[in-house]
Amino acid sequence: MALDDPVVWVLIIAVVIFLFGSSKIPQFARSLGQARKEFENGWKGISTEIMTAPGAATPQGVPQAPRPQPVMPQSPPIPATAPVQTAQALDPLIVACQNEGIDTAGKTREQLASELSWKLNKK
């Protein structure tokens, strides 16, 4: 019996239905389709990143379309009485350390990450 025999395929399908049940097969097919779609989108993203990377060779004779500039949302103006936030205050690692009660003054990011990891694992 070879795999090109229709009887073999009918038996394989019957065993799959028997093992997984008729309700699981559509869910499995749906998840396979979503995974394939995600893979293709990721593959296209990598391809476009490679082609649009600085210094990437462009095919000769193909004009480059101008890339649209991203639209950045306008942030509301900060009132004059509000304290000025530094880049350090907006750093999620520093904010997490401060929330856990870790002193952040004079420490490197590696030291902060190590202390935060130790404290969270201790809990």
Owning domain of residue 102: 87-122
Q: What is the pTM (predicted TM-score) of this model?
A: 0.31
In a domain, 95, yes or no: yes
Domain count, the chain: 2
Is residue 26, in this structure, part of any structural domain at all?
yes
Instruction: Determine the pLDDT at residue 4.
Output: 81
What are the DSSP calls for 10-23, one per residue?
A: HHHHHHHHHHH-TT
- Terminal-to-terminal C-alpha distance of the chain: 60
Q: Is residue 92 part of a domain?
A: yes
Q: Is residue 48 part of a domain?
A: yes
Residue 66: inside a domain: no
Asked if residue 81 belongs to a domain, the reply is no
Note whether 112 and 102 are within 8 A (CB): yes
Distance CA(38)–CA(107), nearest Å, equals 40
Residue 108 lies in a domain: yes
Give the pLDDT mean for 28-51: 86
Segment 108-118 mean pLDDT: 88
Note the maximum CA span of the chain: 83
Q: How far is the C-alpha of 53 from the C-alpha of 50, rounded, in Å?
A: 5
Following CA atoms 39, 42, 47, 48 in sequence, which dihedral angle do they give, to the nearest 10 degrees? Answer: 140
In a domain, 61, yes or no: no
The CA-based angle 91-96-98, given to 5 degrees, is: 95
Higher pLDDT, 6 or 122: 6
56-81, pLDDT tens digit by residue? 555 555 566 676 776 666 666 555 45
